[in-house]
Structure 1
Amino acid sequence: MKKFSSDRWVPYTIATCSAVILYFLISNIGAFFEFLGVIGGFVFPVFLGLVFAYCLNPLVVLVEKKVFFKVKGEILRRNLSVILSVAGIFAFLGVLLGNMIPQLANSAMTFVSNMGDYIVSLQSYLKELSDNASGMNIDISSFVNSSDSLLEQLEKLVPEDATGVINTSKDIGSSVVNIVLGIILSIYFLLDAKRLKMSFKRLMKALLTDKAYRSSAEFWHKCDQILVRYIAFSLIDALVVGIVNAIFMAICGMKYAVLVSMIVGVTNLAPTFGPLVGAILGAFILLLVKPWYALAFLIFTVILQTFDGYILKPKLFGESFGVSGLWILIGIIVGGRMFGVVGILFAIPAVAILDFTYKNYFLYKIEELKEKRYGASAAPKEERNGTDADSEEDRNTALKENQNAASK
């Protein structure tokens, strides 16, 4: 085995086999992704269970430390904390959804049933606007015609029967089954969290050296901090934005306050483009009801997002991520293209983790390899002699002094 591993042809053989495998995968990329889709369908409930358990674990740890800290048995303390945390989450969601879902359903059904009346009202408003503009020698007929055509197409999209609802219900039913299985698995993951962590630690210690194990443990601890902070503060931020928007719409007497505020709050979870999408959807709904509602909503949204971007989010997130806006934008675009909505939602923590990895591991490893290869002379000039200009000037001055001393 040792002789085989030292053979100079081994690297070329491995590279050739890897190239053949890669070519086979690229040539059959459709079948490969179809196979991954089938496997993913079976594994998806397990993945959901891990995600739910990860999100609930901070709450379980908090309950364990603050509520059941006097319970002596560690297993009993953990089990009671999991039961209380899960029951509390279900109770909170039950009360919240029990109050919101009827209002959302009523608003959505009312909006769909009145869609035709809203479109007729908006068309008459546009015609009146066109007549007034013609009186001032302003031609907006092309804009009005385009708007009428768009509204007519929109009216055709409104379902006249329940066929679309039935087809959608099948997909929703499948998703509900996966979510229920994920919740059940998450409870088991939470109950056996310590045992799973110990097993994983033993595996990593067996596979890695002590130095590599400490480095990987530090890395995963930092990733955990970034993700927990991002998820918690993003939910708080979206909740605050949605509630403030609902209060504004209720004060102004606007219709569909719950529906629009839910859209604004949910889309606010997506960075950069999310608030824009929420503003467009909310304004469109209000535009069909009354155009001035849409204008007031857009003005308030600009004010609210300014407050959110410059005051609320800095207070919540602070400087914990330290990633430039350019990299966040690139992360959103790439994440959205590769993973859809999930990629957009987790673009910021993903970019923050990549930035942390690059600065603390990749660059450090390169500098370490450079120092081993070239020795102390590989250190940057700035660290050894100050700036390039200063070091060059110092060398010239020293050379002149040596020449003067030699001539004397």
Structure 2
Amino acid sequence: MTLKQHMRFWAIALVVFIIFLVLLSNILLPFVLGMAVAYFLDPVADRMENAGLNRTAATAIIIGLFVILAILIIMLLVPVIIEQFLGLLNNLPGYYQSLHDFFLPIIDRFVDIPAYQQSEEFKKTIGQYMGEVVKGLGTLSKNIVGGGLAVVNMVTLLVITPVVAFYLLRDWDHIVDRIDSWLPRKKAGQIRMLAGQIDDVLAGFVRGQSTVCLLLAIYYGIALMASGLEFGLVIGIVTGLISFIPFVGAIIGFVASVGVALVQFWPDALMIGIVGAIFVVGQILEGYVLTPNLVGEKVGLHPVWVMFGLLAGGSLFGFVGVLIAIPMAAVVGVLSRFAIDQYLQSPLYGAPPPVDPDSAPED
């Protein structure tokens, strides 16, 4: 098979794969989550298997503990988060009005704001508009949580995901060996090398960053709740969970927390400062302790590339696209670096041909 035929085959395979994702994106979520759980927990299963435990028994123990933990979190934490989230939505108009009244005199010292924008009518109109928006968001959230279709989808997700994770985790090594047997024999070594690099990037980023996000969610949630901040638990957990988007999670969490603190604690500057200090400590903890030790600095995923991958995946495939964005970004990153290395060593770049040591002239 010629190079042109190889390229045509893989191009067709890529197009078919993308069409498959687009057409079946609505049902892929439990399978993608199951695969992610299996990949995340495979090292644990390997350690238990090396310790002498049967692979099936190890998988059953791991998935069983994972399901129990997930159920406990859903039963204990999710209702509190939903209650705080709906309460935050209902209080947004009041927060807006308070912040408007707080910042308007400060801004007016530096910017000449038209009188109509300072009028009671303007503030009333904006307040009503914000109220309608928040009311709509609250209704939508309640429908999402309480809707029959959402309940069916949630039950399906909770049932299918552990089953998929169990079978994939149990048969992970066999699946890898089977895929390895399908590799083109002439390029098998090169493909294994690239697959190893991709696995290193994914292991460093997905497993490491997931742990970082979980620890940050626990830290921010407990710290903000302990400070007495209204809705501190939901703000802290959301901040931690979206910290995998570089800088975005910290900025959103900081703005939301300090905004609520200004309304709740003003003029107590000490309490506002404590809320701000929580995020300063969190950023120091993330940048100098968690990320270097759990993620590492050589995963090869630039923050801009991560943000682009998340936005592109979400735009193309919705929530499933967000889940597969980082793995796809890792694959594209590794393959791009490999392609650049090949180009730099090719005649197309103008690099000198490699010197054969056996044919080198003797002195």
TM-score (norm. length: structure 2): 0.71
Match 2:26 to one of 32, 37, 41: 41
1:95 maps to 2:69: no
Q: Is the 8 A contact 1:119 1:288 kept in 2?
A: no
Q: Is the 8 A contact 1:279 1:298 kept in 2?
A: yes
In 2: Cα distance, 1:89 partner to 1:269 partner: 22
Corresponding residue of 2:360: none
Match 2:219 to one of 230, 244, 256: 244
Match 2:299 to one of 317, 321, 325: 321
- What do the CA deviations read for 1:37-63 (whole angstroms, capped 9, x no partner)? 443335554444333322232222233
Q: Is the 8 A contact 2:309 2:329 kept in 1?
A: yes
Match 1:196 to one of 170, 175, 179: 175
Corresponding residue of 2:238: 263
Match 1:150 to one of 116, 123, 126: 126
Q: Is the 8 A contact 1:263 1:282 kept in 2?
A: no
In 1: Cα distance, 2:226 partner to 2:70 partner: 26
Q: Say which SS state the counterpart of residue 230 (structure 2) adopts.
A: coil
Following superposition of structure 1 onto structure 2, how do residues 90-169 of structure 1 map, counting pairs within 5 Å?
90-111=67-88, 115=91, 119-120=93-94, 123=97, 126-127=100-101, 144=118, 148-159=124-135, 165-166=142-143, 169=147
Structure 2 counterpart of 1:271, which letter?
P
Corresponding residue of 2:164: 185
1:296 is displaced (CA, Å) by: 5.3
Match 1:230 to one of 180, 184, 205: 205
In 1: Cα distance, 2:308 partner to 2:82 partner: 37
1:80 maps to 2:57: yes
Distance 1:261 1:175, change over 3 A: same
Structure 2 counterpart of 1:100, which letter?
L
Distance 1:305 1:338, change over 3 A: farther
Distance 1:151 1:104, change over 3 A: same
1:367 is displaced (CA, Å) by: 5.2
Following superposition of structure 1 onto structure 2, how do residues 275-354 of structure 1 map, counting pairs within 5 Å?
275-286=250-261, 289-290=264-265, 297-298=275-276, 300-325=278-303, 327-328=305-306, 330-331=308-309, 334-335=312-313, 337-339=315-317, 350-354=328-332
Distance 1:138 1:333, change over 3 A: closer
1:278 is displaced (CA, Å) by: 3.1
1:326 is displaced (CA, Å) by: 5.3
Q: Is the 8 A contact 1:238 1:265 kept in 2?
A: yes
Q: Is the 8 A contact 2:212 2:290 kept in 1?
A: yes
In 1: Cα distance, 2:73 partner to 2:125 partner: 40
1:175 maps to 2:156: no
Structure 2 counterpart of 1:185, which letter?
V
Q: Is the 8 A contact 1:238 1:266 kept in 2?
A: yes
Q: Is the 8 A contact 1:271 1:344 kept in 2?
A: no
Match 1:273 to one of 243, 248, 264: 248
In 2: Cα distance, 1:45 partner to 1:222 partner: 27
- What do the CA deviations read for 1:77-96 (whole angstroms, capped 9, x no partner)? 01110111011112323333
Task: Please provide the CA RMSD for this pair.
Answer: 4.4
In 2: Cα distance, 1:326 partner to 1:36 partner: 24
Q: Is the 8 A contact 2:34 2:164 kept in 1?
A: yes
1:185 is displaced (CA, Å) by: 2.1
In 1: Cα distance, 2:304 partner to 2:72 partner: 40
Distance 1:174 1:229, change over 3 A: farther
Q: Is the 8 A contact 1:127 1:144 kept in 2?
A: no
Distance 1:261 1:124, change over 3 A: closer
In 1: Cα distance, 2:105 partner to 2:342 partner: 71
In 2: Cα distance, 1:343 partner to 1:191 partner: 26
1:56 maps to 2:41: yes
In 2: Cα distance, 1:345 partner to 1:271 partner: 16
- What do the CA deviations read for 1:204-260 (whole angstroms, capped 9, x no partner)? 2xxx12x41111122212212221221222122122322332343244322222111
- What do the CA deviations read for 1:372-401 (whole angstroms, capped 9, x no partner)? x99x94469xxxxxxxxxxxxxxxxxxxxx
Corresponding residue of 2:196: 221
In 1: Cα distance, 2:220 partner to 2:75 partner: 20
1:153 is displaced (CA, Å) by: 1.6
Q: Point out the structure with max Rg over C-alpha.
A: 1
In 2: Cα distance, 1:164 partner to 1:337 partner: 21
Q: Is the 8 A contact 2:84 2:231 kept in 1?
A: yes
Q: Which runs of 5+ in 1 are unaligned?
A: 16-20, 26-31, 72-76, 381-408
In 2: Cα distance, 1:44 partner to 1:327 partner: 23
Q: Say which SS state the counterpart of residue 52 (structure 1) adopts.
A: helix
Q: Say which SS state the counterpart of residue 187 (structure 2) adopts.
A: helix
Q: Is the 8 A contact 1:269 1:345 kept in 2?
A: no
Corresponding residue of 2:359: none
Give the length in aligned residue pairs. 337
Distance 1:308 1:79, change over 3 A: same
Following superposition of structure 1 onto structure 2, how do residues 2-13 of structure 1 map, counting pairs within 5 Å?
none
Structure 1 counterpart of 2:224, which letter?
M
Q: Which runs of 5+ in 2 are unaligned?
A: 356-363
